[in-house]
Chains A and B, each alone.
Chain A
Amino acid sequence: NAGVTQTPKFRVLKTGQSMTLLCAQDMNHEYMYWYRQDPGMGLRLIHYSVGEGTTAKGEVPDGYNVSRLKKQNFLLGLESAAPSQTSVYFCASSYGRVYERQYFGPGTRLTVT
C-alpha cells in the first residue's frame, strides 16, 4: 500500500495564480484532512472531510476550497494565491473519528512570490 500520497511535492506560484493540491489514500479511510505547517506554529487544520461528498472548515479555512468527490481523493484548491499561503501542506487520513490516529502524506512545499 502506498498509504497517503500528495501531488505535487514542490510548487512556486505567483501572487494571484491558482492551483490544486491532490491527496490520495489507498487505505479506505473515511476521514481526510488538510493541514498547513508554518515555523513555530505547529500544524493547523484547514479543511477536513468525514466522508465522500462532505467537507467542513477547520481552524484556518480562508483562501482555500476543498472537494471530496471520491472517497480516496481530497483536493485542496487555492483560487488566488497570496504570499501568506507560503507553507508546507500536509494531507492526512484516518479510519475512525477525527480524534483517532491520523496517517500523513509527505507534504507539499508551496512558495507564493
Chain B
Amino acid sequence: SQQGEEDPQALSIQEGENATMNCSYKTSINNLQWYRQNSGRGLVHLILIRSNEREKHSGRLRVTLDTSKKSSSLLITASRAADTASYFCATAFNAGGTSYGKLTFGQGTILTVHP
C-alpha cells in the first residue's frame, strides 16, 4: 500500500514548544500534502510539497521531504492551544496515461497543545 504512516500517533506538548510529526510512505509520489482536522470538522489543507522540492514554509509551518528515505516531516513552531487538532499526511500518486491518480491519507497524528 502507498498509504502514508504518521508518527507519532499522539503528541502532547506545552504552548510555545515546537511540534514535529513525521510521515513515511512506500512508493514514488507526485507530491505530499498535510491537512489539519479540528475535532468534529472537515479537513483543511495546510501545505503541498512536490517531489522535486525538499523544504517548504508557510507561516509557522515547515515541511521537509526526503524522497530517498520516502519520508516527510511537519514542524509547527511556537505552538498554540489553537493548534490542537489531528494532522494527516496525504501521498499523491499519478500513474499517468488514462489514470486519474490517487491521494491516499494516513491515519493521522493527534496533537494536543496545553496552555
Residues of A near any B CB (own CB < 8 A):
4, 35, 40-45, 48, 50, 56, 90, 92, 97-107
Contacts and interface: CB of A to CB of B under 8 A. Distances in A.
Grouping DSSP codes into helix (H, G, I), strand (E, B) and loop, the B interface class, with mixed when no group exceeds half, is: strand
Most buried by A among B45, B88, B101, B103: B103
Contacts of B33: 101
Q: Which 8 A-B pairs have the closest CB atoms?
A: A99-B92, A104-B42, A99-B101, A43-B105, A42-B107, A98-B101, A104-B43, A42-B105
Contacts of B88: 42-43
A98 to B, nearest CB: 4
Contacts of A56: 100
Given A42-B108, A99-B92, A50 B100 contact: yes
Interface of B: 3, 30-31, 33, 35, 40-45, 48, 88, 92-94, 100-103, 105-108
Contacts of B48: 100-101
A11 to B, nearest CB: 15
A43 B91 CA distance: 12
Contacts, number: 58
A105 B41 CA distance: 8
Contacts of B100: 48, 50, 56, 97-98
A99 B40 CA distance: 24
Given A40-B107, A42-B106, A42-B108, A99 B93 contact: yes
A92 B48 CA distance: 16
Contacts of A44: 105
Contacts of B105: 35, 42-44
30 contacts: A4-B42, A41-B107, A42-B88, A42-B105, A42-B107, A43-B88, A50-B100, A90-B42, A92-B43, A98-B94, A98-B100, A98-B101, A98-B103, A99-B92, A99-B93, A99-B94, A99-B101, A99-B102, A100-B31, A101-B33, A101-B45, A101-B48, A102-B103, A103-B45, A104-B43, A104-B44, A105-B42, A106-B42, A107-B40, A107-B41
